[in-house]
Copies of this chain bind each other. A is one copy, B any other.
Amino acid sequence: MSGAKGVKERRTAAGGDDRDDTIALMELLFFAYRDFISDPDAILEEIGFGRAHHRIIHFVGRQPGLRVSELLGILRITKQSLGRVLRELIDKGYVFQQEGAHDRRQRLLYLTGKGRELLARLSAPQIARVRRALDEAGPGAEAAFARVLERIIDEGERGRVRQMTGREKRSG
């Protein structure tokens, strides 16, 4: 199971092979995501919300006027699952809906002032965490980090994500 099986398993300085290196990176991704995603938990708990509420507030905040169907696609959940949490956000005054101008079947989603305030509070620790990591990782790390993450994303999704994040085609 070690070395000499061709280019795919060339050894590295540390004595591992490509496969081990890749698994180590997968674990880093697991732990980084775990810690990153738990940052807002304390704030959410104060108001009886969960991560599902945060996700909705985040994407509505980033894309005001988002359609319900788009949000379903982003979150990859069913409308029934979304429905329960979204209803709560609307009832408690964090999100409101507005009829689409061109298509009145649509219920476009927006944050209220209260919603934007909450989003700012929830995002703050996550932004600080990531920004600090980027600064410490040295110049060029941000671009490389983005390049790898983008290519981990499903190929068919990259265009949509690139557009959402305001990172247009170009060298991308």
Contacts and interface: CB of A to CB of B under 8 A. Distances in A.
Interface of A: 14, 16, 18-29, 31-36, 38, 62, 76, 123, 126-127, 129-134, 136-138, 140-142, 144-154, 157, 161, 164-168
Contacts of A152: 32, 35-36, 129-130, 133
Contacts of A144: 137-138, 140-141, 144-145, 148
Contacts of A27: 62, 161, 164-165
A148 B134 contact: yes
Given A25-B134, A35-B152, A133-B152, 17 more contacts: A18-B131, A22-B127, A23-B123, A23-B127, A24-B166, A24-B167, A26-B126, A27-B62, A28-B146, A35-B154, A38-B76, A133-B148, A133-B149, A138-B144, A140-B140, A144-B144, A145-B145
B29 A142 contact: no
Contacts of A32: 29, 149-150, 152-153
Contacts of A21: 142
A120 to B, nearest CB: 11
Each complex incorporates copies of this chain amounting to 2
A148 B137 CA distance: 6
A162 to B, nearest CB: 9
A130 B25 contact: yes
Contacts of A142: 21, 25, 148
Nearest to A15: B166
Given A18-B131, A26-B127, A33-B29, A147 B153 contact: no
